[in-house]
Each structure stands twice: as structure tokens, then as C-alpha cells.
Amino acid sequence: MDVIVEPKSRRTIREWNVKAAKMAKNSSNPIRALVDEMKLTPNPDKEMIALSIGDPTVFGNLPPSTVASEAVVEATRSNKFNGYAPCVGYESARVAVAEYTSWPSAPITAKDVVFASGCSGALDLAISVLVNPGQNILLPRPGFSLYKTFADAVGIHVRYYDLIPEKSWEVDLDQMESLMDNDTAAILINNPSNPCGSVFSIKHIREILAVAEKNKVPVIADEIYAHFVFPGHEYISMASQTTTVPILACGGLTKRFLVPGWRMGWVTIHDRHGVFEKEVRAGLTGLSQRTLGPNTLVQGALAKILTQTPSHFFDSTLQAIHRNARICFEALSNVCGLRPVMPQGAMYMMVGIDMDRFPEFKNDKEFTECLVTEQSVFCLPAQCFEYPDYFRIVLTVPEDKISEACDRIAEFCNVHYCREMMDTFY
Ligand SMILES: *Cc1c(COP(=O)(O)O)cnc(C)c1O
């Protein structure tokens, strides 16, 4: 048989000229970009206190539970978890997550769980499976910047819905609905919230779901701060409050179990009416095959971690963070020109700046920059979260550091606060 050779056009390039692909060029974390261009030169006479990094392990005051570290050691020593797991994850680990994340009103099983490298990996899966380039996704403002990173990389349009600080950062529902059109492929809800530290009530969760239901838009729920709420507040999963809106919930060990480096996250599929049945489930499986799944050792340890971590571990973490939140809130409430918003959970507090009282500074970025220069305290300007005139404080640092940082912030504001404006009223 004759072999037919297709006529080919030959390569003519003779010089090296290798470019990064578009997706890589369009991938960047806005926080890094902003922080890199800030002039951060701490005061040499004052020890630096970074209230900027959302990693609870950096100061060593919040170690993980020994149950978790021992479970990983045991999984490693067993030699049972050195091979490839199925891309979506080991069955035993999927069962453990299904049990851990199920609510009486929203039970799921192992087949509804897909593992990923951290909650970021889970978010990447969820966004990638639901949204095409050219379509749009609704994101919270202020909000976690990584969502936009994923969207920008592939040409997904971002539309921001507003969270209202005066209403404990609840969603502006009318404005959210006004953003929706036929190309809206998903709404992302982050509850409890980074950077706001807000925790939505059942009533508000139902209101959001009603908008999703009315417009038939699926929800991606970033629930990495599940159960991470202060006394008096209640964590409610999105999925537990609807039987009709299909939800991809993203979670993981990172924050509650204080192990960001372990990179263990998951997507759980909540879909009582089979909306995701035809394509989305298979799409998630397909996407999980791109990486062949995450780390197997942590999967091997997962059942033990999720069922045997003692409740006093979670309680003492939350107590420490809550204590810091109250110290910070009280201290900064008495500072002229600042408006701290008391968080209800997660590990952050947003602080509003009355910028017209600080005319030396053009914006929150200049304000926080100068705070580093004079007081060696670094807080992220809320520009990092697409929000002006606020800064975010990370509350996982040791208590003495948070008190010291608040004293210095107060001193800074006293120096720069402009009282003169009052006079113009008289
Ligand atoms: C920390 C964080 C994540 C990322 O979690 P990883 O498991 O480290 O990937 C996702 N969403 C929010 C809102 C976060 O604060």
C-alpha cells in the first residue's frame, strides 16, 4: 500500500526567538504585582511586624494538631500511598471528605468529591469547568485576588458584585443581579470571607441563592473558611440551603487545620437535580487528569485528620484569633480616622481609612507604605482586593505582636491625622 505523505510547509525560522504562551503571560497575582511596586523600607529602629501574610504558620504560635502530623507520618510509613491514586482521589479519602462536608439537608457521597492541590487548585477546577473564555463570572469586591488570576489567564471576563461594609459585608443583591447576562456562567461566593472576615447568615445565603435560582446561574462556593467562625456566629454551607441551585463547593485542610503547605483541597459537587450530570461531572474528572491528582500521602492521612482532630484544637485556634480581633478592634476603634469592621470569622479584619483626614496620602497604598517606613508595620492595602481606602490586618500573629502593631498604627495616625478640616465647619 502506498503511504500518502501530506505536503508540509517547512520551518524557515533560523534564530532562537522563544516567547511565553499567552496564558502564561496573562497569569499573575495582582497582590504580588502591587506589593512588588510598593516602597517598603521599614524603620531600622523598630522590629518589622508583618500583618500582611495570610499564612497562619509563619510565627509558630499556631502549630497544626499532632493528630494531623502523626497521621501523615503513619501514612508515609505504611508504604500504601506511594503510587498514583486515581486522578480524582483515593476512594477512602473521598468517602472521608463526603462525610466531613455533608449536611443533613445536603448529603453527598464519595462520587461527589474531586481532590485538588489546595483550595486554589479546587477553585481552578471549578472555574475551568464552568466558564468559557469570553463568558463572565461574578466575583466579590472586596475579594480574594486569585479568582481574577484564573479568569484573566484564559480571557474570562470578571464582573464585580459589591459587598457592603455597613451591612457586615453582605452582598448588594440588586447590583449583583444587574451584572448578569446570557454570558454569565457562574457566581463565586466566598463565605466566610477573605479579606472581610464576614460570615453570612442563613437568611442572606438564601437571598443569594434566590438570585442564582431566578437567573439559573450555578454557584462556586469558596468555603475554605468553613467552620472558622467566632462564638456567637454560625457557619452555614451554601449547599445546605438549596435543593435546586447546583453548587461546586471548594474546600480543603489549609486554613482550619493550619497546614497551607500540605496543598490538600477538594471540590464537592452538590447537584440534586442533575444539572451537572450531562457534562460538568465528566469535565471535572477530565480536568483532574491534567495533573494526575494531588499528593497521595495527605490523602492517605485524610480520614484520620478529618475525624480525629480534637475539637479543642479548633477551639483554641479560634479563641486566639478572636482575642486578637477584639484587641485590634478595640484599639483601632479609638483611633481618629480609622473605621475597623469587627470580623465574625476567618482570620482577617478590614479597617477603613478616612482618606480625607490623611491628605498627605493619595490612597490606601501610600498610607500603608508610609506605615512601613515610619512604624515597620505592614498591612495589605485593600487595593489588593479591588477595594479602595481600606487595609487588611491578618489576625493569626501572636497577641503581643498584634497589640504592639495596633499601638504603632495609632501613633502613626495621630501624627498624620488632619484635625484642621474640623475648623472649616466653624
Ligand atoms: C487561603 C485561601 C484559599 C487558598 O487555599 P489553598 O488551600 O492554600 O490553595 C482560597 N480561598 C481563599 C478565600 C483563601 O483565603
pLDDT at 220 over 70: yes
pLDDT value of position 260: 97
Residue 113, C-beta contacts closer than 8 angstroms, at least 6 positions apart: 88, 89, 94, 97, 98, 101, 266, 267, 268, 269
pLDDT at 420 over 90: no
Is there an atom of ligand 1 within 6 Å of 149 CB?
no
Give me 217's grid cell: 446561574
- Chain centroid, CA 120 distance in Å: 8
What are residue 268's phi and psi, to 5 degrees?
Answer: -115, 135
How much is the average pLDDT of 377-381? 97
Question: Probe ligand 1: pick from 120, 257, 385, max atoms within 8 Å of CB?
Answer: 120
Measured in residues, the chain has a length of: 426
* C-alpha 118 – ligand 1 centre gap (Å): 7
* C-alpha 164 – ligand 1 centre gap (Å): 22
Task: Give the Cα separation of 198 and 143 in Å (integer).
Answer: 11
Q: What is the DSSP letter of 86?
A: P
How much is the average pLDDT of 22-36? 90
Task: Give the Cα separation of 126 and 266 in Å (integer).
Answer: 10
Q: How confident is the model at residue 419 (pLDDT cuts 50, 70, 90)?
A: confident
Is there an atom of ligand 1 within 6 Å of 117 CB?
no
pLDDT at 41 over 70: yes
Q: How many CB atoms lie within 10 A of CB 422?
A: 9
pLDDT at 426 over 60: no
Question: Probe ligand 1: pick from 253, 255, 258, 392, max atoms within 8 Å of CB?
Answer: 255
pLDDT value of position 424: 52
Task: Give the Cα separation of 215 and 218 in Å (integer).
Answer: 9
HSE-CB of 363 using CA atoms within 13 angstroms: 10
- Atom of ligand 1 minimally distant from the CA of 222: 11
For the chain, domains (ranges, CATH) are 29-62+312-425 (3.90.1150.10), 66-308 (3.40.640.10)
What predicted TM-score, i.e. pTM, was given to this entire model?
A: 0.95
How much is the average pLDDT of 255-262? 97
